[in-house]
Amino acid sequence: MINFGLLIPKAVVQGIPLLYGSTGEILTEKSGNLNLGIPGVMYVGAISGVIGAFFYEQSLTKTGAAANGFLAVMIPMLCCLLGSLLMGLLYCFLTVTLRANQNVTGLAMTTFGVGFGNFFGGSLIKISGADVPSIALSTTSKYFSAGLPFAGKLGWFGKVFLSYGFLAYLAVLIAVFAAIILKKTRTGLHLRAVGENPATADSAGIGVTAYKYGATCIGCMIAGLGGLYYVMDYACGVWSNDAFGDRGWLAIALVIFTIWKPDISIFASILFGGLYILYLYIPTGMDHMELQQLYKMIPYVVTLIVLVITSMRNKRENQPPASLGLPYFREER
Amino acid sequence: MSNTKKHEPLFHIVKRDSMTFKKAVGIRALAIVAALVLCAVITMIVTGENPISIYGTMAIGAFGSVRKTWVTFQNVSILLLIALALTPAFKMKFWNIGGEGQVLIGGLAAAACMIKLGGKVPNGILILIMFFASLLAGGIWSVIPAIFKAKWNTNETLSTLMMNYIATQLVAFFTVLWEVPKGSGKIGIINQDTNAGWLPNIGSGFSGSKYLLTIIIALLITAGMFIYLAFSKQGYEISVVGESVNTARYVGIKVEKVIIRTVFISGAICGLVGLLLVGGINHTLTTTIAGGQGFTAVMVSWLAKFNPIIMVFASLLIVFLSRGAGEVATGFGLNQSFSDILTGIILFFIIGCEFFITYKITFKRGGHKK
Amino acid sequence: MDNRIPAVKLTGISKRFGAVAANSNVNMEIYRGEILALLGENGSGKTTLMNMLSGIYFPDEGDIQIDGKPVTIASPRDAFDLGIGMVHQHFKLVDVLTAAENIVLGLDGKLDLKKATKKINEICDKYGFEVNPSQKIYDMSVSQKQTVEIVKVLYRGAEILILDEPTAVLTPQETEKLFNVLRKMRDDNKAIVIITHKMHEVESLSDRVAVLRKGEYIGDMMTKDTNAEEMTNMMVGRKVSLNIKRPEPVGVKDRIRVTNLTVRNEEGILKLDNVSFTARSGEILGIAGISGCGQKELLEAIAGLQVVESGSIEYIEDDGSAEQLIGKDPRKIRDMGVSLSFVPEDRLGMGLVGNMNLADNMMLRSFEKGGSPFTDRKAPYELAKSVVEELEVVTPGISTPVRRLSGGNVQKVLVGREIASAPKVLLTAYAVRGLDINSSYTIYDLINKQKQAGVAVIFVGEDLDVLMELSDRILVLCGGQVSGIVDGRKADRAQIGFMMTSTGGNNE
């Protein structure tokens, strides 16, 4: 029997990076940009935060000062946002301003981002002189992973709802916020119009370029936070190369799975998080460890099925934004 | 000018009518040089070496010894083969980014034959079976998203991406199933004692014999793909479908059939790469056997503007960078990911420079044109 | 009249696209309380000029004044702010959004759809529109979409309204309704520009006419002081006595027999309703009708490109034996030995591949010939060369991508290829659309030559004068039904015009 009290909190912590990634990518795709660079962006976000935290901790060791909770959180976060923002700007410059192919640009960004993360991760490991191939940032990380007060005292309720670091709650807030923006506000309406039909949006006086830049850069920053959450909270401040794995791609899969809706993504990412680790909880017995690998396949298979079914049903609201992947040039004739 | 005239655009962008081939090559060359300079500067900052010696080190990494040179060419061949495989699909505007998965599945089929049939059938027949199994497996794996595309217009970028991860997990599943020894999570070298199903070395007694097969196959397929795309009827159909589905229907080309056939060829060649990796190079199967080259190949094919001959140089550039940067990294105690950063930078420059080939910028009333 | 301050004053406006000058040195004025008809042939630069006013394009040269003040219109937003609104020929609507969402698209302030709905209903009541603000655009008919476009412009408080060929997609009733609305707006002291090339619309609606020809401004006059003939002359630059040759048909035999043909499009809308007729060899059968009345579906059904719901299309051999074409694709039809050529409306999107060169485009029809897996490159190259020579195609070379040729030359390449296979049946859709006069005559000559060679020609046209001078018989379509077939030599303009808007004399 699967113990849900145990599984749910684990699924949530697995799901949070996916939620950040998918919320960011949904905003990006709503503007018509298919950013396959999200895995790279999440790596860059993570390592930027790690670099910030690393130097903050170094300065603490040097001066002997006690850690300041505010700085310990803000420095890594700002570094993370800045790193992801730069990636977003790069993507936009190439695909929007220079109208380059989005798939190719995205893949190049992933190559670059993952390399960037692992390279600087590796370099920091060298600087820190550790004998294991990872850096532990326990001082700053404890501010990230601190749960809410009373979490321990409220039994299963505390465990399921209150035991997470603040970035987990922020992820949900951002997703809810993004959903409201998309559905209820003028900005959201304009963004959807840009992704559906940029020529129409343009002729309606909407700054297509500005919206594409804005949505993509904000999307990248949100996705970057997912990387930050992963190292600082989930991994307890331990950076090791390639540990983040393929979560970035899973986040892109989630976008399809949730048919471009951030509010659905809150539940879907927890579901995917659960599926991602389900294999640990389904008793396979020592003789059939291989079945675990099949369980890990489930999120991707489910996403593929959702993708095919939505295209079969051909319901207009559930389709990808119509201009997804296409560059826009006003004077195209 | 009166002050009611606000924010007049400073410049505006128009599509070029055409550009001479020379000029286009010039712009690309300029972009690559600029990227190499930037890479050198970054490497300089990181390592403190001067740029010339950095590129010296890189050259040593790629061509420093006979063995290194052979390995470089083998790596170029593998990357080139995947890029070639993806190209017919791309020409048809079918964005197959599932090369990674198709290679894996081809490799899985080859490994399955080696493990299950090794020693049970004569080696020659085994290799023949492996050949067909890999091609078929890669082909089928790619045709699944193609059918979705042909029938329901399912977005193929997203579906082939998902197929990659399904393939990875499938390989992971079999890796555990076939692991040797139990609990190691690895298959290990398959048929170490019998060498059953190992692809033959071509020639013997010289250092390159074990690399030559891959290289020859890559050369053959380069030539074959060039001829197929440029001169065959099917290649022509691919171009027409890629340019305009309406035109294709108008002249009676069966679009669905062309999509499925072309994508099958695409996947089958990826499957062949899987065979080469498992049966010829590594003699084992892991989930990372394709090593992200399915994605790199997308960029190679695109950078070469889908021209198989240019792809040779594009793959060479990428492999040179990655092996060279690897050498720099080892030499200066950096990690291997350094090469990904350099590859990324080069790609960004080449991707960006396409803009100046397709468009030109006209400055308003400034009088000067660019 | 000229002491009024014009709502819009254009001075010296020029715009080029690559090598093509879309507008050169245009000077024009637009006044309030007036409906201006902007008249010109296809490709005369009407739409480009108005696009510069609505901020879609930016002029290369020239100045724009609104109410006497010089302004810069760098974006559609600037145009709104100046009270300029344009209803484009191709609607600028987002399909997955509702009417209300589309109408408020691009405006500032808090999104309040309830308030917007109220305001939309007010506008509708004022001018007599019918719009359901919460209906999705993809659920709407063409005329509903157009209404949304007009309401959108009014919602923004546009004072200067530009409509680009608004009636092309409307039924006569819808057109009349639209005109009434436009008159109401004029009386509201708005400035209205309607782009058109239909003479009777100019006469019944406009107060003043301005004429463009080949990107240049030819002049303007009050509608009441002019007549159709004068306007046509200004439009085409010389007195039109079309004088298209019409040789007598020879060896007339039934060739294509269409019986009770019914076709629905992908959305399930009835496009052809029980259509029957026969096309004969050595004869040109003209097809008239307002655009979108089933012409496209009719030709595509014969060519094997359209799914047919019911009915029959038979090809009749010289010996009188008939073969069914329905259910066969173009390849099968060719394999049956039926030599059928088709010059489609969408030249670069269907008939030719824009990015391919002339020789490769010639190959489209012939590449499968022979058993070799490789294409024969030589024959298409020779064919391209002979087409270029015989039809005087202006091109830098055989290896030039066809998209770089001018419209007339593109059409010559397409027609040249289609007639090269010595067809028995030739289908043409809007064969002279967008072509200059000389190219048009080249095409008429080519078609006539085919007719004399015994080909059964089906010629879908939009210009009634051309249809009446070229065709032996004219089939008139209205809303997917055949409203009649008349003799081209005896046809009367008014009669055909009436048939185009009413099936079999019955008003809907």
Q: What is the pLDDT of residue B363?
A: 66
In a domain, B370, yes or no: no
Q: What is the pLDDT of residue B9?
A: 56
- Going by C-alpha positions, the residue among C430, C435, C395 that lies closest to residue C19 is C395
Phi, psi of B279 (to 5 degrees): -80, -25
C contact residues 50-69, partner B, Cβ 8 Å cutoff = 58, 69
B4-13, B304-313, C446-455: which range is least confident on average? B4-13
Query: How distant, in Å, are the alpha carbons of B252, C267, C462 from that of C168?
Result: 31, 21, 11
In angstroms, the CA C166 to CA C304 distance is: 32
Residue A81 has pLDDT above 90, yes or no: yes
- Cβ of residue A312 closer than 8 Å to a chain B Cβ: yes
Phi, psi of C13 (to 5 degrees): -80, 130
Mean pLDDT, chain A, whole residue set: 86
CB-closest option in B5, B14, B247 to C364 = B247
Residues in chain A with CB shorter than 8 Å from the CB of B338 are 115, 119
Mean pLDDT for the stretch of residues C274-283: 92
- Going by C-alpha positions, the residue among C29, C144, C7 that lies closest to residue C82 is C7
- Please tell me which residue of chain A has the smallest CA distance to C18: A333
Q: What is the pLDDT of residue C222?
A: 92
Q: What is the pLDDT of residue C81?
A: 87
> Which of B86, B104, B161, B164 is the best substitution to test chain A (most A C-beta atoms within 10 A)?
B161
Residue A44 has pLDDT above 80, yes or no: yes
- Cβ of residue A205 closer than 8 Å to a chain C Cβ: yes
Phi, psi of C372 (to 5 degrees): -70, 145
Residues in chain B with CB shorter than 8 Å from the CB of C333 are 252
- Cβ of residue C397 closer than 8 Å to a chain B Cβ: no
CB-closest option in B5, B17, B246 to C72 = B5
Q: What is the pLDDT of residue C259?
A: 92
In a domain, B211, yes or no: yes
B contact residues 95-114, partner A, Cβ 8 Å cutoff = 95, 97
B160 CA: distance to closest CA in chain A (Å): 9
Q: What is the pLDDT of residues C35-51, one digit of tens each?
A: 999 987 666 788 889 99
Residues in chain B with CB shorter than 8 Å from the CB of C74 are 7-9
SS (H, E, C) C414-430: HHHHHHHCCCCEEEEEC
| Nearest 10 degrees: Cα torsion C498, C502, C507, C508 | -150
Q: Does A116 contact B341 at a Cβ distance shorter than 8 Å?
A: yes
Q: What is the pLDDT of residue B205?
A: 66
> Which of C360, C374, C418 is the best substitution to test chain B (most B C-beta atoms within 10 A)?
C374
In a domain, B336, yes or no: no
- Cβ of residue B345 closer than 8 Å to a chain A Cβ: yes
Tell me the torsion sign for CA atoms A242, A245, A246, A248: negative
- Going by C-alpha positions, the residue among C261, C315, C269, C311 that lies closest to residue C475 is C261
Check residue A133 and report its DSSP letter: S
- Please tell me which residue of chain B has the smallest CA distance to A286: B183
Q: What is the pLDDT of residues C91-148, one digit of tens each?
A: 889 989 999 999 998 888 888 889 999 999 998 888 888 889 999 998 888 888 888 9
Sequential DSSP letters for B306-355 = T-HHHHHHHHHHHHHHHHHHHHHHHHTT--TTHHHHHHHHHHHHHHHHHH
Which residues constitute the domain of residue B105? 78-314
Phi, psi of A131 (to 5 degrees): -95, -10
Residues in chain C with CB shorter than 8 Å from the CB of B231 are 374-375, 377
Hey, which residues does C192 pair with through a beta bridge?
C35, C161
Mean pLDDT, chain B, whole residue set: 85
In contact, B91 and B243? CB cutoff 8 Å: no
B146-155, B361-370, C357-366: which range is least confident on average? B361-370
Check residue B281 and report its DSSP letter: I
- Going by C-alpha positions, the residue among C38, C61, C56, C35 that lies closest to residue C213 is C38
Residue A147 has pLDDT above 80, yes or no: no
CB-closest option in B12, B231, B252 to C58 = B12
Q: What is the pLDDT of residues A85-113, one digit of tens each?
A: 999 999 999 999 888 889 889 989 998 99
Residues in chain C with CB shorter than 8 Å from the CB of B248 are none
Mean pLDDT for the stretch of residues C338-363: 89
In a domain, B82, yes or no: yes
Q: What is the pLDDT of residue C174?
A: 79
A194 CA: distance to closest CA in chain B (Å): 19
- Cβ of residue A150 closer than 8 Å to a chain B Cβ: no
Check residue C128 and report its DSSP letter: T
Is the peptide bond preceding residue A76 cis, with omega within 30 degrees of 0? no
In a domain, B31, yes or no: no
A206 CA: distance to closest CA in chain C (Å): 5
Regarding predicted confidence, which is higher, C507 or B222?
B222
Q: What percent of chain B has pLDDT over 70?
A: 92
Q: What is the pLDDT of residue B4?
A: 35
Q: Does B240 contact C19 at a Cβ distance shorter than 8 Å?
A: no
- Cβ of residue C480 closer than 8 Å to a chain B Cβ: no
Q: Does B359 contact A290 at a Cβ distance shorter than 8 Å?
A: no
Per-range mean pLDDT, top range of A117-126, A146-155, C355-364: C355-364
Q: What is the pLDDT of residue C331?
A: 86
Q: What is the pLDDT of residue A230?
A: 92
- Cβ of residue C1 closer than 8 Å to a chain B Cβ: no
CB-closest option in A188, A196, A205 to C96 = A196
- Cβ of residue B184 closer than 8 Å to a chain A Cβ: no
CA atoms within 13 A on the CB side of A289: 12
Mean pLDDT for the stretch of residues C374-394: 88
Mean pLDDT for the stretch of residues C443-468: 88
In angstroms, the CA A86 to CA A92 distance is: 10
CB-closest option in B14, B234, B244 to C349 = B244
Instruction: Characterise B187 by phi-psi region: left (phi > 0), alpha (psi -120 to 50), beta (else).
Output: alpha
Hey, which residues does C20 pair with through a beta bridge?
C17
Regarding predicted confidence, which is higher, A258 or C464?
A258
Q: What is the pLDDT of residue A287?
A: 65
Residue B11 has pLDDT above 70, yes or no: no
Residue B367 has pLDDT above 60, yes or no: no
Mean pLDDT for the stretch of residues C333-355: 88
Mean pLDDT for the stretch of residues C149-158: 89
Q: How far apart are the first and last CA of chain B?
A: 24
The H or E element that residue A330 is part of is none
ipTM for the whole complex: 0.86
Residues in chain B with CB shorter than 8 Å from the CB of A333 are 15
Hey, which residues does C287 pair with through a beta bridge?
C460, C475
Interface of B with C (CB under 8 A): 2, 4-9, 12, 14-15, 17-18, 231-237, 239-240, 243-244, 246-247, 249-254
Q: What is the pLDDT of residue C237?
A: 66
C151 CA: distance to closest CA in chain A (Å): 13
Residue C366 has pLDDT above 60, yes or no: yes
Residue with tokens 């490799």: B107
Residue C324: which residues within 8 A CB-CB, separation 6 or more? C312, C313, C314
A131-135, C22-26, C350-354, C488-492: which range is least confident on average? A131-135
Q: Does B354 contact A293 at a Cβ distance shorter than 8 Å?
A: no
In contact, C377 and C385? CB cutoff 8 Å: no
Residue B75 has pLDDT above 80, yes or no: yes
pLDDT-based confidence at A151, cuts 50/70/90?
A: low
In contact, B63 and B262? CB cutoff 8 Å: no
pLDDT-based confidence at B5, cuts 50/70/90?
A: very low
Q: Does C303 contact B250 at a Cβ distance shorter than 8 Å?
A: yes
- Please tell me which residue of chain C has the smallest CA distance to A204: C106
CB-closest option in C17, C56, C136 to A203 = C56
CB-closest option in B232, B249, B253 to C373 = B232
Work out how many domains chain B is built from and give that number.
Answer: 1
Q: What is the pLDDT of residue C250?
A: 82
Residue A88: which residues within 8 A CB-CB, separation 6 or more? A41, A216, A217, A218, A219, A220, A221
In angstroms, the CA C75 to CA A210 distance is: 13
In angstroms, the CA C318 to CA C254 distance is: 9
Mean pLDDT for the stretch of residues A184-211: 90
Q: What is the pLDDT of residue B24?
A: 80
Q: What is the pLDDT of residues C230-278, one digit of tens each?
A: 877 777 665 455 678 888 888 888 999 999 999 988 767 788 989 999 9
Residues in chain A with CB shorter than 8 Å from the CB of C104 are 186, 189
pLDDT-based confidence at B225, cuts 50/70/90?
A: very high
In angstroms, the CA C57 to CA C14 distance is: 11
pLDDT-based confidence at A282, cuts 50/70/90?
A: confident
B251 CA: distance to closest CA in chain C (Å): 6
CB-closest option in C88, C97, C105 to A206 = C105
In contact, B314 and B300? CB cutoff 8 Å: yes
Mean pLDDT for the stretch of residues A161-177: 89
Q: What percent of chain C has pLDDT over 70?
A: 93
Q: Does C74 contact B7 at a Cβ distance shorter than 8 Å?
A: yes
Residue A130 has pLDDT above 90, yes or no: no
Q: What is the pLDDT of residue A4?
A: 65
Q: How far apart are the first and last CA of chain C?
A: 43
Chain C: touching chains (3 or more CB pairs < 8 Å): A, B
Residue B50 has pLDDT above 70, yes or no: yes
- Please tell me which residue of chain B has the smallest CA distance to A292: B173
- Cβ of residue B27 closer than 8 Å to a chain A Cβ: no
In angstroms, the CA C275 to CA B136 distance is: 49
C94 CA: distance to closest CA in chain A (Å): 6
Q: What percent of chain A has pLDDT over 70?
A: 92
pLDDT-based confidence at A1, cuts 50/70/90?
A: very low
Domains of chain C: 8-236 (3.40.50.300), 249-339+424-438+455-508 (3.40.50.300), 350-421 (no CATH)
Sequential DSSP letters for A182-239 = HHHSHHHHHHHHHHH-HHHHHHTT--HHHHHHHHHHHHHHHHHHHHHHIIIIITTTEE
- Cβ of residue A166 closer than 8 Å to a chain B Cβ: no
Q: What is the pLDDT of residue C240?
A: 53
Tell me the two tokens of residue C150: 């007009």
Residue with tokens 């949730």: A258
